Amino acid sequence: MIATIETNSKKYKIDLSKPLDISIPLRASANNVNAWYQDPPKIEPVQDGAWIASVAEGADINFNNISFNPHAHGTHTECVGHLTKKTHSVNQNLKQFFFLAEVITVAPEKRKTDFFISKKQIQFALGNKKRDAVILRTIPNTIEKLNHQYSNTNPPFLLEEAAIYLREKGVKHLLIDLPSVDKEKDDGELLAHHAFWNTAGRKRMDATITELIFVPNTVADGTYFLNLQIAPFENDATPSKPILFEIE
């Protein structure tokens, strides 16, 4: 099915029958991707005495409870409520779901024991392109990202200058294949988060950060349409399913 989308007075055609899923699924497994020192997620049937809500256990239905942390256990989208005293829900602030997006690939730079993504790298990758969303893939890019255990590994992160650059360039939605845009242990500074959402000024309520995506190597760098699907949780962060569509 071919759909036509118009943005900035320009029309684009996409084939809705050819989605490119860049989310990581949540599984009840120790091999599920994990960060922030959390136990693995759990998906377990409800129990009421001897009755277990599982067809395999003789019940008429499967009826599971799910226990997980959206920030730690898979692809998730978060809003400025991640940092504010006042409660802000991503479900209330993200009201549009299709965006012109650019996929870029960056090899993090190294300084001592840290790996980071700089403003200069993103400037070079984006050039003069104006995009609603930027999807940032880091290399090396292996399928290990689907089940990596990130706690206490000091993953790569975004420098504050890079987040400021993206904000000033008008990027509303930043997607990255790491557990955070910030350094794992930074004494709670969260410089890139604060910079991207402009928490010291006029907060960007409709801007989002999506973390723990996985962009397969078969997806080339370039321009796509992004469908940012979220679960309707009234929370600062929610599981999400970002989908890319090639432009015809």
Q: What is the CATH number of the domain that holds 232?
A: 3.50.30.50
The four Cα atoms 74, 79, 83, 86 give a dihedral, to 10 degrees, of -130
Compute the distance between CA of residue 180 and CA of residue 176 in angstroms, rounded to an integer: 8
What are 77-89's pLDDT values in tens digits? 999 999 999 999 9
Sheet holding 157-158, edge to edge: 109-111, 114-117, 157-158
How many CB atoms within 10 Å of residue 215?
24
The tokens describing 108, both together, are 């993090």
Please list the ranges in the chain whose pLDDT falls under 70.
Answer: none
Query: What pLDDT is stored for residue 1 in this prediction?
Result: 87
Q: What is the pTM of this model?
A: 0.97
- Position 41 in a domain: no
- Position 236 in a domain: yes
- Position 59 in a domain: no
- Position 43 in a domain: no
* Phi, psi angles (nearest 5°) of residue 97: -130, -5
Domain of residue 129: give its range: 2-35+70-246
Indicate the number of domains in the chain: 1
The tokens describing 245, both together, are 């569509």
- Does the CA dihedral 127-183-216-135 come out positive or negative? negative
Compute the distance between CA of residue 178 and CA of residue 133 in angstroms, rounded to an integer: 16
- Does the CA dihedral 67-78-174-195 come out positive or negative? negative
What are 92-148's pLDDT values in tens digits? 999 999 999 999 999 999 999 999 999 999 999 999 999 999 999 999 999 999 999
- Position 100 in a domain: yes
Pairing of strands 222-230, 98-106: antiparallel
Burial class of residue 30 in the structure, from the number of CB atoms within 10 Å of its CB (0-12 exposed, 13-18 middle, 19+ buried): exposed
Query: What pLDDT is stored for residue 10 in this prediction?
Result: 87
Query: What pLDDT is stored for residue 193 in this prediction?
Result: 98
- Position 230 in a domain: yes
Query: What pLDDT is stored for residue 167 in this prediction?
Result: 98
- Position 112 in a domain: yes
- Position 154 in a domain: yes
